[in-house]
């Protein structure tokens, strides 16, 4: 019987294969910045990423994609990508994380891919949302998903050597977070509300060099699984729980065997340390610069992480006008 450990494992060269896919997605999607056409911008990025992934030397299966096959014609859940050669990997993709940010010309839209050995990524099935806590290396293991917010913030302050009033918590600005916001404020911590993009925000919370101590809130489960690959590389901490939007979704999840009360640890979300996470800026944000177009081509900035080594690299790339021609045509420019 062949196990995941017997198969060829992803090595550091995979990062360079995958960053090419996020770069072309950003180059294609970035043409739609501020044009108020979410579907067109996302569609251009999806098509570009899929074409590049087809050339990658992997036997990839999309675990986290654009949706089920009947809803998404490209990069759908279960689609096979790559040339079919080893290594066999699970793939999570989000060609544009923050489609509204891109369409409205706002900061922080990105393109991302995460990868891990086949069979190691948590498949969220029908569960669209999960509660998440993401913290940096000093606080890894300090958060209890069942504890009150105030208690978790006290633990976070203690492990980071801060007072609670010094903590800065990042959270999506959503009506469903009204009680969480009140709890953070009542505890005395500072609160940074963001419009969209909790994957990049989760990375900011897990990286000590940035002034954010935790990401808290209910966000996308697919984004949570992808972000877990980055948190592995950053040696941070992450824990969550599936969150059902209604009774129908709750019943469907239980029918499929999902335990809604189960704490989703980092190890549960991605069961291998050999993870890869790549994120490229589409519009400029706190984490990476967006695409900059000019007469001599365009530049992109990417952040590339590998879980096994804990290596984090920023990659600044210049792309020739010839390389941009296809994506300019796709955007109707």
pLDDT score recorded for residue 326? 62
What pLDDT band is residue 331 in, cutting at 50, 70 and 90? very low
pLDDT digits (tens, 9 = 90+) for 2-23: 444 556 677 668 998 999 999 9
Q: What is the mean pLDDT of the chain?
A: 92
Residue 99 marked ligand-binding: yes
210 is in an annotated binding site: no
Confidence (pLDDT) at 40:
95
% of residues, the chain, pLDDT over 90: 84
Domains of the chain as residue ranges with CATH: 12-118+275-331 (3.30.540.10), 129-269 (3.40.190.90)
Tell me the pLDDT tens digit for each residue of 200-216: 999 999 999 999 999 99
Q: How confident is the model at residue 125 (pLDDT cuts 50, 70, 90)?
A: confident
129 carries a ligand binding annotation: yes
pLDDT digits (tens, 9 = 90+) for 216-236: 999 999 899 999 999 999 999
- C-alpha distances (whole Å) from 247 to each of 99, 177, 202, 252, 254 are 28, 19, 28, 9, 11
**pLDDT one-digit tens code per residue, 18-41:** 999 999 999 999 999 999 999 999
Would the annotation count 98 as a binding residue?
yes
Q: What is the pLDDT of residue 332?
A: 43
Confidence at residue 333, expressed as pLDDT on a 0 to 100 scale: 43
User: pLDDT (tens digit, 9 = 90+) per residue, 53-84?
Assistant: 999 999 999 999 986 655 667 898 899 999 99
Report pLDDT for 6: 59
Q: Is 237 annotated as a binding residue?
A: no
196 marked as part of a ligand binding site: yes
- pLDDT for the residue numbered 323: 73
pLDDT of residue 209: 93
Mean pLDDT of the region 230-258: 94
pLDDT of residue 325: 72
Q: Residue 3, annotated ligand binder?
A: no
Instruction: Look at the pTM and tell me if it is higher than 0.85.
Output: yes
Task: Consult the annotation and say whether 175 binds a ligand.
Answer: yes
Confidence of residue 126 (pLDDT cuts 50, 70, 90): confident
Average pLDDT over residues 96-114: 97
Residue 94 annotated in ligand binding = yes
Question: Omega before 314 cis (within 30°)?
Answer: no
């Amino acid at each position: 019987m062949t196990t995941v450990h017997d198969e060829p494992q992803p090595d550091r060269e995979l990062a360079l294969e995958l960053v090419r896919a996020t770069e072309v997605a950003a180059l294609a999607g970035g043409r739609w910045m501020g044009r108020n056409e979410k579907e067109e911008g996302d569609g251009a990025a999806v098509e570009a990423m899929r074409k590049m992934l087809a050339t990658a030397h992997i036997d990839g299966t999309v675990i986290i994609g654009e949706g089920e096959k009947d809803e998404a014609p490209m990069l759908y859940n279960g689609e096979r990508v790559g040339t079919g050669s080893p290594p066999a990997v699970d793939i999570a993709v989000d060609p544009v994380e923050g489609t509204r940010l891109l369409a409205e010309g706002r900061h922080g839209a990105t393109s991302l891919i995460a990868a891990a050995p086949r069979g190691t990524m948590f498949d969220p099935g029908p569960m669209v949302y999960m509660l998440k806590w993401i913290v940096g290396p000093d606080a890894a293991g300090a958060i209890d998903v069942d504890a009150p917010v105030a208690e978790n913030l006290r633990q976070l302050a203690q492990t980071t050597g801060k007072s609670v009033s010094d903590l800065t918590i990042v959270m999506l600005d959503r009506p469903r977070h009204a009680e969480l916001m009140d709890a953070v404020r009542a505890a005395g911590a500072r609160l940074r509300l963001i419009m969209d993009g909790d994957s990049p925000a989760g990375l900011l919370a897990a990286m000590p060099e940035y002034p954010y101590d935790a990401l808290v809130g209910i966000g996308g489960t697919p984004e949570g699984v992808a972000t877990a690959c980055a948190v592995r590389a950053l040696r941070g901490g992450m824990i969550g729980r599936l969150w059902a939007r209604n009774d129908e979704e709750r019943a469907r999840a239980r029918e499929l065997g999902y335990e809604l009360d189960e704490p989703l640890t980092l190890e549960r979300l991605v069961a291998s340390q050999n993870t890869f996470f790549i994120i490229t800026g589409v519009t400029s944000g706190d984490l990476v610069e967006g695409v900059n177009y000019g007469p001599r081509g365009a530049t992109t900035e990417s952040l590339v992480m590998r879980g096994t080594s804990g290596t984090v690299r920023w990659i600044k790339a210049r792309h020739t006008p010839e390389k941009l021609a296809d994506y300019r045509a796709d955007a109707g420019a």
